[in-house]
Structure 1
Amino acid sequence: MAGNSSIEWTEATWNPVTGCSKVSQGCKNCYAERMAKRLVAMGNPRYNNGFKVTLHEDLITLPYKWAKPRKVFVNSMSDLFHEDVPLEFIQKVFDTMNDTPKHTYQILTKRAERLSELAPQLTWGPNIWMGVSVENESVLNRIDYLRTVPAKVRFLSCEPLLGPLNNMDINDIHWVIVGGESGPRSRPMLEEWVWDIKLNCEKNKVAFFFKQWGGVQKFRTGRLLKDQIFDEYPQTELLNPTTK
């Protein structure tokens, strides 16, 4: 339920919640759902409920055991702001993150409206980065909800990128990750969509990270964009010191 990660923009994953449900086109070929099916077949007891939302109280304090600082993707197998996750549970997860400031926590949600509603009831230490998924123009409003959150780093995950995001408003956003869909039935991503986001980030001085082209065999398509690797991270020490 935790360990080193092969996800390019993080170092480890931590899953005090597992399971989710689909809310938009980006969820159609969910990698976490596919992985959960494999774990069920392997008899993993954490997945006795399959891909239904399941809370793992015993994992909330796991990061206290990690001696080495690391970047941690929170709930790679779920969504911390899913409607079936109680506020009290989310607050416990935040307590752990705030109590372990040597780690950097990266949270990603598609439920930006609930995130915005609950944000005032959470404590946002500078080591807690908050992001939303933006796969196409139909969910651009998630960025507006994210802007209301007092996280020191606010980021976007445009993965799977399913269409152009021309002139996307990234004001008060500090980091943008872009990636194509991988696995069976993966949908295509055009270079011009990616490059437009790259130029937008450059214009607005936002860190840009190109994760992958994706496809059925993503190791073959790689990470090169116009013959370059783009793996920028937000320079947190340069961000507005009044932003919590």
Structure 2
Amino acid sequence: MAETSIEWATTVWNPTTGCDRVSPGCDHCYALTMARRLKAMGSAKYQHDGDPRTSGPGFGLTLHPDTLTTPLGWRQPRRVFVNSMSDLFHARVPLAFVQRVFEVIAATPQHTYMVLTKRAGRFPRVAPRLTWPGNLWVGVSVESAEYLARVDDLRTVPAAVRFISAEPLLGPLDRLDLTGIDWLIAGGESGPGARPLSLDWVRDLIARCDRWGTAPFVKQLGAVWGRQHGADSKGGDWTYWPQDLRIREYPLSAEAVSPQGAVDQPQPSGR
């Protein structure tokens, strides 16, 4: 467990670590870079290397069953990002292990858990074989219009909240249908080699959220915009942003938060 600077979560939990790049959104993966550093520092969880063509030092897919009981010791409600350093639906994560993660989630209903994947193609096959906890939010990464099919696959999942992470947003999503989607996170790319974000792409997503009743959350405007406008290195300091983009909302109904409505929801901002 670790506290996190990720704006939409309070804690990260990594029952698996490691991954493989599958699409352009992975090109500047922060987790791959961090795994390399953690391996050099001698961290036990990051000593398994991945395929150099798609992964890297310390970033080979690894299961950590010893971490499964960690959330059982957390008493106060948290918003937990599951696998900030991996992808729970990676092809080499056995479905039985995914179910064990889900069982821990179900056993700790005071927390809200967020799982984010680029491998939504597994959903139609595996969703009927899993027992989905009521306090689990499930999302897909969609960095460009080429990957909109992930959203269709997401709609097959019986999650309490379905969400999209359009980060790093690398192009317009002008064919995006938000039917059945509760929440949308948008953000530009940070780090070395960051690709630019058009604010028009973000404004279009906000308008789509309004049309479909989806909660929008603008996370950051990216390193390129930040350098151009004197903001921080991620463009995450919204005091510099245009007023109409200062929006960070969560799904509002108590039923969408968790069966108990246990996690306090930040007040909608910017409008």
In the superposition, the TM-score normalised over structure 2's length comes to 0.85
Q: Is the 8 A contact 2:145 2:175 kept in 1?
A: no
When residues 9 and 193 of structure 1 are mapped into structure 2, their CA distance, relative to the original with a 3 A threshold, is same
Partner of 2:88: 80
Deviations 1:145-190 (A, max 9, x none): 0001001100000000000001410000000000111101111110
Instruction: Please show how residues 95-244 of structure 1 align to structure 2 within 5 Å.
Output: 95-215=103-223, 219-220=232-233, 221-224=235-238, 225-227=241-243, 228-237=245-254
Amino acid at match of 2:88: L
Number of residue-to-residue matches in the alignment: 239
1:219: how far off? 2.4
The 1:59–1:181 alpha-carbon spacing in structure 2 relative to 1, beyond 3 Å, is same
State the 1:3 CA deviation. Answer: 1.4
- Paired AA for residue 123 in structure 2: L
Q: What is the deviation of 1:226?
A: 2.2
Contact 1:211 1:223 in 2 (8 A): no
Q: Which amino acid aligns with 1:73?
A: F
SS at match of 1:219: coil
SS for the counterpart of 1:88 is: helix
Question: What amino acid maps onto 1:117 in structure 2?
Answer: R
Matched, 1:32 2:49: no
SS across alignment from 2:176: coil
Q: Please tell me whether the aligned partners of residues 123 and 156 of structure 2 are also in contact (alpha carbons under 8 angstroms).
A: no
Judge which range, 135-144 or 40-49, deviates more: 40-49
Q: CA RMSD in A?
A: 1.6
Find the counterpart in structure 2 of residue 52 from structure 1.
Answer: 60
Distance across 1 between alignment mates of 2:253 and 2:96? 29
Query: 1-side partners of 2:192 and 2:126: how far apart?
Result: 35
What is the SS of the residue equivalent to 1:114? helix
Unaligned runs of 5+ in 1: none
Distance in 2 (CA, whole Å) between partners of 1:30 and 1:39 is 15
**Residue 64 (structure 1) aligned to one of 52, 60, 72:** 72
Question: By how many angstroms is 1:238 displaced?
Answer: 5.9
> 1:223: Cα distance to partner?
4.5
1:5 is aligned to 2:4: yes
Contact 1:223 1:229 in 2 (8 A): no
Alpha-carbon distance in structure 2 between the residues aligned to 1:102 and 1:190: 38
